[in-house]
Structure 1
Amino acid sequence: MSDLIDLVHAELSAPVDPRVATMAQAIAAQYPGSARAVLFYGSCLRESELDGLMLDFYLIVSDYSDAYSKRWMAAANRLIPPNVFPFQHGGLIAKYAVLSERDFELLNSGEASNVSVWARFAQPSRLVWSVDHVAADRVVAAVVEAPVTLFELTIPTMVPDASAPPVDIWRAGFAHTYQAELRAERNGRSVSIVDADLDRYERFAVATLAEIATRRGIGPNGEVANAFHADTARRRWGQMRRRGKALSIARLAKASLTYAGGIDYLAWKINRHAGTKIEIKPWQRRWPLVAALTLVPRLMKSGAIR
């Protein structure tokens, strides 16, 4: 196995709060016969006190048709992945996103048309439940592709500098990804993610570069060979920025149909990350789709989300 696979496997296998593992099992139990794995990710991964926080999970299923009894839910998940649902268990609250194994692999790879999955799984996560070792191995293989995708798209856009530390690729890459989605976080968030766990990102940077070198070879000056020409990489980022903003709005609209209390969650998350004081009115809860579609443009104009 490569150094990157070893690092990903070790990180995914790291222990979590027992309540997180119990919640993951409860999520999987809702999808008997189709649940394959559950991953824990996001800012709560760095917190020791989980009460009052919204935990983030990804549920990986074999197939959307197997996962849902309602065909329109399967169609919605297939058309605009993922579907997102609220969840409560053992006194904790969470949300979980549903992806098929095939989509999880695709959306972590360089073939993904948006950053939403690989940008998250290039960061730390935990595999907190799997149905068997085959499912676990597929998750590891998919997550390995996330940092590779980020590096292969980012390196060609950077000014060559042999003296620059490899960890700078993370900073540049996350800056790109934050521009490719509607984000409530303040400027500098992409840098602070790296600086908060610098040793991890340094180790993963070295291993990711070695993985790319194994796949792509070494350039004439000893550098890792680029997967993309600089102009091609910049065009790809431009396309993902345009698609990402539109996709974020489409997901918000879909969540008004699939996510109970989605408009309240949207307000909570923006308030937490952007320091705003949005209060949801009764009519907005009755008409969450209209509320989301009218709220987002106002927040973008004010700079609360970008």
Structure 2
Amino acid sequence: MTTKADQELTTFILDEWKRPVPDAVLQAAQAVADKLGDCVSGILFYGSCLRTGDIEEKVLDFYVIVDSYKEAYEKRWLAIANQVCPPNVFYHEMEVAGMTVRSKYAVLSRDDFAFRVRPECLNVSVWARFCQPCILLLARDEMTKQSIAGDIAQAIKTMIGNLLELIPGATNSRDLWVEAFEATYAAELRSERRGKGLEIYLLDQDRYDALTALAEEAMGIVPGPIPPIKQPPRTERLVPRLKWFARRCNGKVVSFLRLVKAAMTFDGGIDYLAWKIKRHSGVEITVTDRMRRHPILSGISLFWGLKRKGAFK
């Protein structure tokens, strides 16, 4: 049952979506939607370009929400790949007013998106990503918009709930979000330097502080005086730690499989990955013509090369 607190959290998300975006972003989103056709329910714009407002010489991040994978693709193997190991990731670029606008877009079905923001989903990638700022573009209709806003609100509750299981003493907003970001980054193959969680929190501190209060109210967490710090029984700490260990194991394996799959679906994927790793971690990978000709083997060898150089955590 939807409570008043849930509605307030969803309204917060809907208000965020009123933020204007550059025309180049809208044009890029429309071009991506045109490639997939009428099955597109909406496109979520997120990531560093949204956080900073800087899109020149950057790659826009989109999540395209579709009705079904079968409707989204002409090639059956792409639909199967998206169903077995979601999402599929693609690259797109276009010229807008003399500027090259580059986009990376992931494709996820409505059903998969709704599941992957919930606590039952072991993989962190969707609920961790969409508790951060995003904007829904090209929503099919108002009902779709409300539904996806509810999913984003659920992602926020999932992030906070899972972190509080691990660290019940994270009573202030800063500690909660920084620890949450660091924990979820550790559950993926990430190239970000340590301290990225604090950086993300500080970029939108007022937002995260407001969200904490709204989400905790929606979750039925009543604020009160900070309890004295005491060591919980070992058995109480074991289950949350095992859950996060399972998330880390799942995240590493799934991220590896997505990396290999992206070598097939992502035009210029090897070059993009090498560029992104260097940008975030300083680790440089030399991409050869042979790697471009054999994307699957290259994806695997690139993974191990990056792992040895310390690009992944």
Shift of 1:230: 4.4
What SS does structure 1 have at the residue aligned with 2:138?
A: strand
- Map Cα deviations across residues 173-219 of structure 1 (whole Å, 9 max, x no partner): 11110110001111111121102221111111111111111xxx659
Counterpart selection for 1:42 from 38, 47, 57: 47
Q: Specify whether residues 259 and 135 from structure 1 end up closer, same or farther in structure 2 by C-alpha distance, changes over 3 A only.
A: same
TM-aligned CA deviation for residue 156 of structure 1: 1.9
After superposing the two structures, state which structure 1 stretch, 277-286 or 121-130, moved more: 277-286
Separation in 2 of the partners of 1:209 and 1:231?
Answer: 24
The alignment partner of 2:311 has SS state of: coil
Q: Hey, what's the Cα distance between the residues in 1 that align with 2:177 and 2:75? A: 41
Which of 166, 173, 186 aligns to 2:193? It is: 186
Contact 1:185/1:274, CA 8 A, preserved across alignment: yes
Q: Conserved in 2, the CA contact under 8 Å of 1:186 and 1:274?
A: yes
Aligned residues with identical type, % of pairs: 37
Match of 2:253 among 246, 249, 256: 246
Q: Give the equivalent residue in structure 2 for 1:275.
A: 282
Q: Which runs of 5+ in 2 are unaligned?
A: 228-235
C-alpha displacement of 1:134: 1.7
Q: 1:124 aligns with which of 129, 133, 136?
A: 133
Q: Is the 8 A contact 2:124 2:187 kept in 1?
A: yes
Whole-Å Cα distance in 1 between the matches of residues 87 and 222 of structure 2? 37
- Asked if the contact 1:54–1:95 (Cα under 8 Å) also holds between the matched residues in 2, the reply is yes
Give the Cα separation in 2 of the matches to 1:232 and 1:29: 46
Asked if structure 2 preserves the Cα contact closer than 8 Å seen for 1:38 and 1:127, the reply is yes
1:98 is aligned to 2:103: no
Alpha-carbon distance, 1:233 to partner: 2.4
Determine the structure 2 residue equivalent to 1:24: 29
CA distance in 2, matches of 1:242, 1:115: 11
Q: Distance in 2 between matches of 1:3 and 1:167?
A: 21
Offset, 1:287: 1.2
Supply the distance in 2 between the matched residues of 1:232 and 1:49 (Cα, whole angstroms).
42
How far apart are the structure 2 equivalents of 1:219 and 1:11? Answer: 25
Is the counterpart of residue 139 in structure 1 residue 139 in structure 2? no
Alignment check: 8 A CA contact 2:131 2:156 kept? yes
Q: For 2:137, what is the secondary structure of its paired residue? A: strand
- What TM-score, normalized to structure 2? 0.89
CA drift of 1:246 comes to 0.6
> Post-superposition shift, 1:48?
3.4
Q: What is the CA–CA distance in structure 1 between the aligned matches of 2:129 and 2:93, rounded to whole Å?
A: 23
Code of the aligned partner of 1:256 = A
Distance 1:64 1:302, change over 3 A: same
C-alpha distance in 2 between matches for 1:88 and 1:220:
51
* Partners of 2:59 and 2:293 in 1: CA distance: 23
1:153 paired to 2:162: yes
Post-superposition offset of 1:289: 1.5
Whether 1:304 aligns to 2:311 is yes
Q: How many Å apart are 1:149 and its aligned residue?
A: 0.5
2:62 is matched with 57
**Given the two structures, how large is their TM-score scaled by the length of structure 1?**
0.91
Please give the residue correspondences for 1:76-115 in structure 2 after superposition, counting only pairs within 5 Å: 76-89=81-94, 90=96, 91-115=100-124
Q: Is the 2:51–2:133 Cα contact (8 Å) retained in structure 1?
A: no
CA separation of 1:222 and 1:159: change in aligned 2, threshold 3 A: closer
Q: CA deviation at 1:70?
A: 1.3
The residue that corresponds to 1:226 in the other structure is none
How many residue pairs match? The answer is 296
**1:221 Cα deviation (Å)?**
8.3
Q: What does residue 211 of structure 2 align with?
A: 204
SS in 2 for 1:50: coil
The amino acid that maps onto 1:269 is: K
1:7-47 CA distances to partner (integer Å, 9 max, x unpaired)?
11111232111211121122112222201100100001123
